[in-house]
Structure 1
Amino acid sequence: MNLLLLAPDDLVAPDRACIHDSRRLKHLHEVHRAACGETLIVGMTNAGIGRARLLTLEKDQAVFEILHLDDAPPPALPVHVLLALPRPRMLARSLENIATMGVKRLTLLHTARVEKSYWQSPELQPERIEAHLRLGLEQARDTVLPTVDLQPRFKPFVEDQLPAALAGQRALLAHPGIGESCPRGLPMDQPVTLAIGPEGGFIPFEVEMLQAMGFEGIHLGERILRVETAVVSLLSRLF
């Protein structure tokens, strides 16, 4: 936790915050080993970053005096990620990585090689998704939560919703063995939509549909990567 991410519900006064949840308290006690009077880096969800002084630290709560929240979070990546829904364990890590890398718009998408049972996972509950995103933000010292959209039907999404979403975007399809090597260092003023399939890749029908929408094929070489590794590798090379 490189930043203590606060939520509006943590505020008990304009300049006071009190946290009660076990995860943040455990980090303060066992990892940070914080002491009363110490000044910590904090951020307010979807707002600024600053510092707060720890006033009290007990087993069941910690109280902070907020000194300031005037600093801006790091800039977001200009990318909308379309990600084939990973298996639940990989989903958790992927959400954290996506938030850490600075993605602010994510669509989780059903594809032919995504097992239907994945859509019943407790990891898709809004509170679980937000918890993983918060971990990623705390790692990166960011405060702005990404938006996550669930699309359990591939064809209707691609035909009915995707065309409008692609307006003004460069569309890239990450798929083994097609197109060119993943480009490097794209300009930050060029919005991108990046489609990433499951570990087995998109099926030919899905590739054809996306290419018909204007997606350019890109790849990372011959090796097949795990989803969470591919996400980080692609974003790192693109931006």
Structure 2
Amino acid sequence: MNIILLDSKNTLGDGRYGLTERQQTHISKVIKAESGDVLRVGVLNGKIGEGVYESPSESQPGYIHSLDLTLQPPTPLPMVLVMALPRPNMLKRTLLNITAMGVKDLYLIHSAKVEKSYWQSPVLQTESIQQCLLEGLEQAKDTVIPNWSLIPRFRPFVEDQLPDILKDKMGLLAHPYLAKRCPVDIQQPCVLALGPEGGWNEFEVSKWHEAGMESVHLGDRILKVETVVPVLLSRLYPA
């Protein structure tokens, strides 16, 4: 946790922000802060700076006050990421990684090779996804939480929603077959579609292509989703 994210839902009045139990535990056991210490903080979807910490007492929980917020959050990636729903244990790590790297628009979509049981996972509960995204923001010292959508039907998304999403953007389909080498350091916004570990099937590839996406590859090696996401993002938009 490289920043304490303060949520307006936890305001106590007079410029004070209450801390969650998880934040309080981190401050007490990891940072080992004491009352009056100045900590790095940010307001969710707002600016970054410093705030003064007050430890919990019998009458009230710990809180942050006297905020001095002067910095803007890091620049987001100009990318819309469309990702076939990964297996639940991989989804958590992937959400944290893409949020830490600056993705702000995410669609989790169904694919023929996505197990239907994945859609019933508790990981897809709003609270669970939001927690993963918050942890990614805390890692990267960011405050702007990504927009995300669950897309349980492939074809209506590609035919009806994708054309508008693709306007004025480069469309890249991560697919290892009959593809060109993935470009490096592109200078325009893009839509990146990343398939399941088994890859997109022929019908899905054809629908992506019809919509205006172009297949790209990273070479002969087939990588796991949690590996290929940071590789692709850092290749398309190097730091």
State the TM-score, normalizing by the size of structure 1: 0.95
CA shift for structure 1 position 176: 1.5
Q: Where does structure 1 differ by over 6 angstroms across 4 or more consecutive aligned residues?
A: none
| Residue of structure 2 equivalent to 1:55 | 54
Cα deviation for residue 75 of structure 1 reads 0.5
Letter of the structure 2 residue corresponding to residue 111 of structure 1: S
CA–CA separation in structure 2 for the residues paired with 1:71 and 1:99: 19
- Deviation of 1:67 (Å): 2.4
Q: Which residue of 2 aligns with 1:226?
A: 224
Name the structure 1 match of 2:86: 86
Q: Does 1:212 align with 2:210?
A: yes
Distance (Å, rounded) in 1 between the aligned partners of 2:68 and 2:131: 25
- Alignment size in residue pairs: 236
How far off its partner does 1:35 sit? 1.8
1:18-44 C-alpha deviation (Å, 9 max, x unpaired): 11x322122112211112221111011
Which residue identity lines up with residue 55 of structure 2 in the other structure?
T
- Please tell me whether the aligned partners of residues 16 and 64 of structure 1 are also in contact (alpha carbons under 8 angstroms): yes
SS at match of 1:113: coil
Give yes or no for contact 1:17–1:64 (8 Å, CA) kept in 2. yes
**Matching residue's letter, 1:96:** L
In structure 2, what is the equivalent of residue 141 of structure 1? Answer: 141
Q: Give the corresponding residue for 2:30.
A: 31
1:233, distance to aligned residue in structure 2 (A): 0.6
Q: State the Cα distance separating 1:57 from its structure 2 match.
A: 4.1
Separation in structure 1 between the aligned mates of residue 94 and residue 77 of structure 2, nearest angstrom: 16
Name stretches of at least 5 consecutive residues in structure 1 with no aligned partner: none
- Alignment partner of 2:168: what SS? coil
| 1:163 matched residue in structure 2 | 163
In the superposition, relative to structure 1, how do residues 80 and 13 fare at CA in structure 2: closer, same or farther (>3 Å)? same
SS at structure 2 position matched to 1:178: coil
**Match runs of 1:84-233 below 5 Å:** 84-187=84-187, 190-233=188-231
- The answer to whether the Cα contact below 8 Å between 1:177 and 1:221 also exists between their aligned partners in 2 is no
1:3-82 matches, cutoff 5 A: 3-19=3-19, 21-57=20-56, 61-82=61-82
Deviation at 1:14, TM superposition (A): 4.1
SS at structure 1 position matched to 2:185: coil
Query: Secondary structure of the residue that 2:40 maps to in structure 1?
Result: strand
* Structure-1 separation of matches of 2:186 and 2:38: 38
Structure 2: distance between partners of 1:64 and 1:44: 11
1:2 aligned residue:
2
Secondary structure of the residue aligned to 1:67 is strand
Secondary structure in 1 matching 2:55: strand
Point out the more displaced range, 106-115 or 212-221: 212-221
Unaligned runs of 5+ in 2: none
Show CA shifts across 1:120-139 (max 9, x none).
11111111111100000000
Please, which moves more after superposition, 26-35 or 97-106? 26-35
1:88-120 superposed Cα distances (whole Å, 9 cap, x missing partner)? 111111111111010000000000000111111
Q: Distance in 1 between matches of 2:123 and 2:107?
A: 15
Query: Does structure 2 retain, via aligned residues, the 8 Å contact 1:17–1:66?
Result: no
CA distance in 1, matches of 2:8, 2:14: 10
